[in-house]
Structure 1
Amino acid sequence: MIHSTEITVRGYHLDLYRHVNNARYLEFLEEARWQFMEDSGLIAEFDGSKLGLAVVNININYRRGAYVNEQLHIRSQFKKIGHRSAVMEQVVYLKDSDTVVADATITFVLIDIKTGKALTLDGDVAASLSRLLEPEA
């Protein structure tokens, strides 16, 4: 499943150089992940379960600056579900173009909310994440 999120660059996203500050991209990507997980039903599945997904690694590449009033299109998709972690890829494009602004690979682990300890990805959680995997082309 590929999920799409639109974000408009606002003045408060900019830094001294009048382009989006590098740290803001992490916020844009997080917003897109939340929307993906809400729209896919994952948030509802985790609600009250005492389990959660925690980001343990983000690798991001900045390809082009983004500027005030530009429309960004973020594509998010799970690429791999392993025994201990899941990997999502996210790509930020200028809306209605093939111009990549940034791309990132995010690794998650399943955690026990109470203890903060990582758990294995199996059972219902693995099945829920696996249904969101994008088939290989």
Structure 2
Amino acid sequence: MDSRISRITLRVRGYHLDGYGHVNNARYLEFFEEGRWGYFDDRPALARHFASGHPALVAVNLNVNYRLAAVAGDDLEVLTQVAELGSRSARLYQQIRRLGDGKQVTDADLTCVLLNMRTQQSMTIEGEIRQALERLVLPKAS
């Protein structure tokens, strides 16, 4: 797997399920967030840029496509990558696949802005942060 893609695995538990017996849509947001935490855990040099909370990458838009239901006992993998880098924002692309058959369960595009936490204003992505992120950009596969 490309080193610019982060991969975490998790098992679907009963408390992830809704009344229909499949993963509740809101739980997928938690799975995606866990994938993003894993992404930065795997890249401590990048994470150090945001460790102090100034600046921060802050989510401003999330688009999710639900494709297949996952159920209790399914082992899932969450794949996370930087798909695009703009002047003030970055787009992350994430997928959740079922390990048993490799089928895609859901995917999401998350847009983040670089935010100055003191002023609450977006910042230009430049300098060391930009260089670090540029090395990680992997365009979303069609």
Q: Scaled by the length of structure 2, what TM-score is found?
A: 0.90
Question: What is the SS of the residue equivalent to 2:49?
Answer: helix
- Look up the equivalent residue of 2:36 and give its one-letter code: R
Match of 2:6 in 1: 3
Task: Please say if residues 38 and 44 of structure 1, whose CA atoms lie closer than 8 Å, have aligned partners that are also in contact.
Answer: no
Structure 1 pair 49/16, CA: closer, same or farther in 2 (3 Å)?
closer
Aligned counterparts of 1:97 and 1:80: Cα–Cα separation in 2: 29
Indicate the residue corresponding to 1:18 in structure 2. 21
TM superposition shift of 1:69: 1.0
What letter matches 1:56 in structure 2?
V
Kept in 2: contact 1:79–1:88 (CA 8 A): yes
CA deviation digits over 1:79-118, x for unaligned, max 9?
A: 1111011011101100143311001011110001122211
Q: Percent same amino acid at aligned positions?
A: 40
The separation in 2 between residues aligned to 1:8 and 1:109, in whole angstroms, is 31
2:119 to 115, 119, 122: 115
Worse overlay, 21-30 or 44-53: 44-53
Aligned CA RMSD, in angstroms, stands at 1.6
In structure 1, stretches of 5+ residues that fail to align are none
Shift of 1:63: 0.3
TM-score in terms of structure 1 length: 0.93
In structure 2, the partner of 1:37 is 40
Read off the aligned partner of 1:69 and give its amino acid letter: G
**Structure 2 residues without counterparts, runs of 5 or longer:** none
In 1, Cα distance between equivalents of 2:114 and 2:132 = 12
Q: Which residue of 2 aligns with 1:131?
A: 135
Task: Give, in whole Å, the separation in 2 of the partners of 1:38 and 1:114.
Answer: 25
Counting matched residue pairs gives 137
Distance 1:60 1:113, change over 3 A: same
Determine the C-alpha separation between the residues in 2 that align with 1:49 and 1:29.
21
Alignment of 1:76-91 (within 5 A): 76-91=80-95
Letter in 1 for 2:136: L
